[in-house]
Amino acid sequence: TGSSSTYVSPQLTTVRAMQSIGFETVAAGDSYNDLDMLLASRAGFLFRTTEKIRAEYPQLPAYETYGELLDAIRRTVNTAHPV
């Protein structure tokens, strides 16, 4: 008999757990393994990622410096809607 399982990343599992107890999440990541987490969060940001990922996920703001990322996070947590 065969079994079928769907891989759920630890990042996404953590986001869902935090959301299930009432937290909103803001996440940053750089690679394909982070995308589920970024897309599930209130706001998700690409950080120092590849041009290919930027092109494939234009809905995710992308930043190259810590200062830019921190500014985006601050704007997000200080507003009712994500940046």
Do the Cβ atoms of 46 and 64 come closer than 8 Å? no
- Encode pLDDT of 34-71 as tens digits: 999 999 999 999 999 999 999 999 999 999 999 999 99
pLDDT at 7: 85
The closest alpha carbon to 23, from 41, 2, 47, 1, belongs to: 41
Q: Is 23 exposed, middle or buried (0-12, 13-18, 19+ CB in 10 A)?
A: exposed
* pTM across the whole model: 0.85
**From the CB of residue 73, how many other CB atoms can be counted at a distance below 10 Å?**
17
pLDDT at 3: 55
pLDDT at 80: 66
pLDDT at 28: 98
